[in-house]
Structure 1
Amino acid sequence: MSTGRTTRRRLLTAGAVAVGSTLLTAPKAFADGYGSGALGPWENSSKAISTLTQIRPVLDTDGLFMFGDSISVQDGYSLAQRLHGRTGDVIAVHNWSGRPTAPAVDALAQWAQAYGLPGRILMATGSNDIFTPPVFAAQVERVMDVVGPARKVYWVNVQVARTAQTAAVQLADQRNSAWINLQLADAQRAHPNLRIVRWAEFLAAKPTRLTAYLRDGVHTTEPLGQDARNELIVQAIEAG
């Protein structure tokens, strides 16, 4: 079996965990789009954005820029502490709850133009793309174009199956999460400087992790899920 097929099987298996023994089939459109509903307004949601005073030390020491969503708004400070304690690296963040990947890439492009970029970029976005998963691949390509081949991009893949929703919506969430993760895996094969932080596979390794590490099918529990996800990120950065 080829490496590509093995990767796809691993990702699809990870995607099936939250929905029991249901077989994951090829993604298809539903009457309401892709089965997960519609993304609501996010522009007035909570956010954490570093100031220029906080950005300068990152550039001076070649730390990391981070672009994320609500999981990162919640977990970003803990991640910054963990990473600095292990590697001495500092992070500047642009995290915004509810934000899909396209405006996160817009923010990356804006920072690149305004400040320049450090040698490493952390993308922790994609969970809010389950509502329109086909757009995700183009956004990954945009990131790689902005960053260029000499910098490394660490991208956390996604696991969404919102427990407050119906079983049908949870199934769609899971299928769309796997679709997003497959697009990310495809991009990695085209870009040697793209590293995937395999959060979905970590959760899939033991079914009990879905409830122990996620409080609502998306966001991490504190401290268990938060620590686990942040540790995966730090380990990926340490590995280079």
Structure 2
Amino acid sequence: MRKPQDPFRPSRRLLFAAGTAAAAASAAAAASTAEATVGSPAAAMAAADGLTSLGNYGSGVLGAWDRQARAISNEAQIRRTRESDGVFMFGDSIGVQDGPPLARQLSKLGISIAVHNWAGRPVTPAVDALETWSQDYGLPHRILMSVGSNDIFTPPAVAAQVDRTMQIVGEERTVYWVNVQAARTAHGPDVTVADQRNSAWINLQLADAQRRYDNLRIVHWAEHLASSPNRLARYLRDGLHPSVTLGQNARNGLIIDAIKAG
């Protein structure tokens, strides 16, 4: 099957350039925050925690996520969405936050959505959930993957899970995958830069997968943020989660546009 032309398909050079620019901006913001809070015991403890738990890739260690906030559709909604050939969404904390307004926007287009969003969750258990829904309910023709931000702690894990996703959905369904922008401003410049480097690493894996799979669409959130001055500060409230409502509307708008484009 011939791939549709993607006018915003990034090259490796563009992804690394965007990552470098974002890292510099985020590190500067983090440094300014650190200077403003010097002498604060809470700030000192937070900085110490970040520096002593950097992990192998510099971003720290993924914490326990199984008791964090979640938003999971009930069986009736899942079956309705499957029967109407709507959208199944698998997400993390961004999905928990941004899922309800996204559902309202899709509803205006006559598209139903069933969600399995869980804060703090990395890609692997999200793909586990996709596989379970596939076995229990079958899948619609559109799958939205809004995960990857929590894989900055172990970025090499992503490529195999993208392959696994594409094997589960098969060649006749379309997967929309939102790429990653993480540069957490609360953890100090070293962690912020590591987050950005690891985000670019994850995004390269997604870009490589898109070359192999005709039915994989990348939603270019990272490039959208890096393409205009001050978007990182205005559209993200903490270097990771979209601001409400400006960043939320921008990210959901990119998703809607991708789904409408097919």
Q: Is the 8 A contact 2:96 2:119 kept in 1?
A: yes
Distance 1:145 1:214, change over 3 A: same
2:102 aligns to what?
79
Distance 1:130 1:106 in 2: 19
Larger gyration radius, structure 1 or structure 2: 2
Aligned amino acid, residue 137 of structure 1: A
Report runs of 4+ in structure 1 exceeding 6 Å deviation: none
Alpha-carbon distance between aligned partners in 1 of 2:137 and 2:162, rounded to the nearest angstrom:
21
1:159 is aligned, of 169, 173, 181, to: 181
The equivalent residue for 2:42 is: none
Residue 122 of structure 1: SS of its match in structure 2? Answer: strand
CA displacement at 1:161 relative to structure 2: 0.1
Alignment-derived partner of residue 94 in structure 1:
116
Q: 1:20 is paired with a residue of what secondary structure?
A: helix
* 1:137 positional shift: 0.2
| Structure 2, unaligned runs of 5 or more | 1-8, 27-52
Deviations 1:178-232 (A, max 9, x none): 0000000000000000000000000000130001000000001001000000000
Q: Distance in 1 between matches of 2:213 and 2:119?
A: 28
Question: What pairs with 1:200-219 in structure 2 (closer than 5 Å)?
Answer: 200-219=222-241
Aligned with 2:168: secondary structure?
Answer: helix
More off after superposition, 157-166 vs 51-60 = 51-60
Percent identical pairs in the alignment equals 62
Corresponding pairs, count: 229
Instruction: Show the 5 A alignment for 1:1-240.
Output: 7-20=11-24, 32-85=55-108, 87-240=109-262
1:40 shift after superposition: 0.4
TM-score normalized by structure 1?
0.92
Shift of 1:17: 2.3
Change in 2 beyond 3 A, CA 1:6/1:124: closer
CA contact (8 A) 1:18 1:207 kept: no
Q: CA RMSD in A?
A: 1.8
Q: Could you give the per-residue CA deviations for residues 109-157 of structure 1, whole angstroms, max 9, x where no partner exists? A: 0000000000010000000000000010000001000000110000000
Q: Distance in 2 between matches of 1:59 and 1:105?
A: 18
Counterpart of 2:43?
A: none
Q: How far off is 1:45 after superposition?
A: 0.1
Gaps of 5+ in 1: 23-29
